[in-house]
Amino acid sequence: MSGLRKKRRLAFIRTAIWTAVLFIALQIGISLYVKLDTVYHFRLNYNMFLDNQQSIEVVIDEISNTIEKENLQDYIILVGNSVAWGTNEKSDHSLGKYINELSGEQVVFNLSAPSMQPGDIYTLLLMLDRKGIRTDNLVIGLSYSAFVERVNGPRAVFWLGDYLRELDSEAFGKARSQLVHNGYEYRTGWEYAETKYLHQALSLLPLYRYKDAIVSHYEEQKDGTDLLGDPRPWFEKKYTEKKLQDPQYLNFFNPKPFVMSEENWGVFFMNRIMEHQEGKKTLVFINSANGELSKKEIANPGYQDNLRKLESYFAETEAIYLNLQESIPSDMFTDHVHLTKEGNQKLAQLLWQAWNGEVN
């Protein structure tokens, strides 16, 4: 090798090593930058989760790190849908914030997200198990609609189907056709293996793992708020008759008698959740609906019968059951089910009292 070529090759190697060093340093920097508050502030960053459901792994990881770092022993996990997450309010006015205020030193981690179904909650519990996060203290928030017959959706596992497939193949196998029928992309063969293993391998690279977290955090900082929806109380908004006749709205209160067997996906996954929670403290609450706006739907005898069926179902489990219907004044609602800041405060109080056995 000529002297010039040797010199060039050495320069090439030196630059390549330096580039590799900088790249690794950058990866370490990214890892150090992302903390729990990057992806979570009394609730997970929903825009991040919406863009990429795999980003929930980062939230769970960071919760696990916090538990370990702060040596937390007696924490509570809260899992539910948009009411527990706090749609129409910002995180500082959400259930997660207020329940943490009431619980004092007992930290409550809120892993709720809009549209979460019992199937997602069950899957989430399995994901927490995998990460070593205990669910000895668990609060589950559901809506009446979680038990309504799913003719055309929503999926029984709305967000976390891929994880259920991985963590409980039997349950997934039973739910698969319902999920596929409602838009779940069931990958097989090479396509499945590629998606799964590529994600696992790339997750070792912080740039990949935290890409959504950093982008969403930046966007949230730029927007200056994490508000999703309109926080005004419902009576300040226009609710036309047409809106109240919307099939999606009506299905939310569907009075058709609940089938309380495993044919009902709500029951199917609740059974698994209850099995999982055997011997652990669990509170299940059914969100209140707006007693004024949805008076007609709530007064329906079918609706009331179904609520009684749910009460009977949960009475046979170890869980503390809380039906919040008529417990929250209608002026604390932003729509038919979501709550204002005051509504979230009230909900937190009710839950905390029930958790401590003050109300049952």
Partner 1 sequence: MLFNSVTFFIFLAAVVALYYAFPRLRMYVLAVANAAFYAYAGVGYFLLFAGIVAIVYAISKGLGGSRGKLALAGGLAVVLGNLFFFKYTIFLIENIERALGIEFDFAGTFLDDRMILLPIGISFYSFQLIAYLVDVYRKKLEPSRSLLEFWVFISLFAHSAAGPILRGNDFLPQLRRIENVSFIDRRFKLGIAFLLLGLTKKLVIVEFIAPYVNEYFGRAGTLTGGEAWTAAYLFAFQIYFDFSAYSEMAVGIGFLLGLKLDLNFKTPYLSANPNEFWRRWHITLSQWIRDYIFIPLGGSRVANWRIYCNLIAAMAISGLWHGAAWTFILWGVYHGVLSAGHRLYRRLLKGRKVEAWTATRVYKIGAVIVFFHLTVVGWVFFRADGMQEAMYMLKQMAAIHHIQLTEETKKLLLVVVALYGLHLAESFIVSRFGKFIQAWRIRVPFVVRGAVYTIIATVLLAYLFKGESSSFIYFQF
The CA distance from 31 to 19, in Å, is 19
The CA distance from 206 to 19, in Å, is 17
Catalogue the long-range contacts made by 263-266 (C-beta closer than 8 Å, 24 or more residues apart): 264/147, 264/149, 265/117, 265/118, 265/119, 265/150, 265/156, 265/175, 265/178, 266/117, 266/118, 266/142, 266/146, 266/147, 266/148
Dihedral-angle region of residue 104 (phi above 0 means left; psi in -120 to 50 means alpha; beta otherwise):
left
Q: Does the footprint of partner 1 cover residue 130 (CB under 8 A)?
A: no
Number of residues engaging partner 1 in binding (CB under 8 A): 22
- Among 50, 66, 208, 317, interactor with partner 1 by CB under 8 A: 208
Q: Does the footprint of partner 1 cover residue 26 (CB under 8 A)?
A: yes
The CA distance from 149 to 256, in Å, is 8
Shortest approach of partner 1 to residue 4 CB, angstroms? 12
Shortest approach of partner 1 to residue 142 CB, angstroms? 31
Structure tokens at 180: 């596929």
Stretch that binds partner 1, among 126-134, 200-208, 253-261, 299-307 (CB under 8 A): 200-208
Stretch that binds partner 1, among 3-11, 253-261, 270-278, 291-299 (CB under 8 A): 3-11
Element (H, E) at 248: helix 247-252
Tell me, rounded to whole angstroms, the distance of Cα 54 from its chain centroid.
12
Nearer to partner 1, 70 or 185 (CB): 185
Shortest approach of partner 1 to residue 179 CB, angstroms? 20
- Among 52, 106, 115, 327, interactor with partner 1 by CB under 8 A: 52
Shortest approach of partner 1 to residue 82 CB, angstroms? 24
Shortest approach of partner 1 to residue 195 CB, angstroms? 10
The set of residues, in sequence order, having a beta carbon less than 8 Å from that of 213 and lying 6+ positions away, is 34, 38, 39, 45, 48, 55, 58
Q: Does the footprint of partner 1 cover residue 14 (CB under 8 A)?
A: yes
Nearer to partner 1, 50 or 359 (CB): 50
The CA distance from 29 to 82, in Å, is 34
Q: Does the footprint of partner 1 cover residue 7 (CB under 8 A)?
A: no
Q: Does the footprint of partner 1 cover residue 256 (CB under 8 A)?
A: no
- Among 90, 211, 272, 276, interactor with partner 1 by CB under 8 A: 211
Shortest approach of partner 1 to residue 17 CB, angstroms? 8
Q: Does the footprint of partner 1 cover residue 169 (CB under 8 A)?
A: no
Stretch that binds partner 1, among 55-63, 165-173, 190-198, 274-282 (CB under 8 A): 190-198
The CA distance from 98 to 353, in Å, is 13
DSSP three-state, residue 113:
coil
Shortest approach of partner 1 to residue 93 CB, angstroms? 32
Shortest approach of partner 1 to residue 35 CB, angstroms? 20
Q: Does the footprint of partner 1 cover residue 180 (CB under 8 A)?
A: no
CA-closest candidate to residue 139, choices 331, 324, 339, 328: 324
Q: Does the footprint of partner 1 cover residue 250 (CB under 8 A)?
A: no
Q: In what order do the strands lie in the sheet with 137-142?
A: 108-110, 76-80, 137-142, 281-286, 320-323
Count other C-beta atoms under 10 Å from residue 295's C-beta: 11
- Among 28, 180, 207, 299, interactor with partner 1 by CB under 8 A: 207
The answer to whether the beta carbons of residues 307 and 342 sit under 8 Å apart is: no
| Cα four-point dihedral sign 195, 197, 200, 206 | negative
- Name residue, tokens 């059914």: 286
Q: Does the footprint of partner 1 cover residue 299 (CB under 8 A)?
A: no
Stretch that binds partner 1, among 11-19, 96-104, 325-333, 338-346 (CB under 8 A): 11-19
- Among 180, 193, 202, 259, interactor with partner 1 by CB under 8 A: 202
Which positions touch partner 1 (CB under 8 A)?
Answer: 8-9, 11-12, 14-15, 18-19, 21-23, 26, 51-52, 190, 194, 198, 202, 205, 207-208, 211
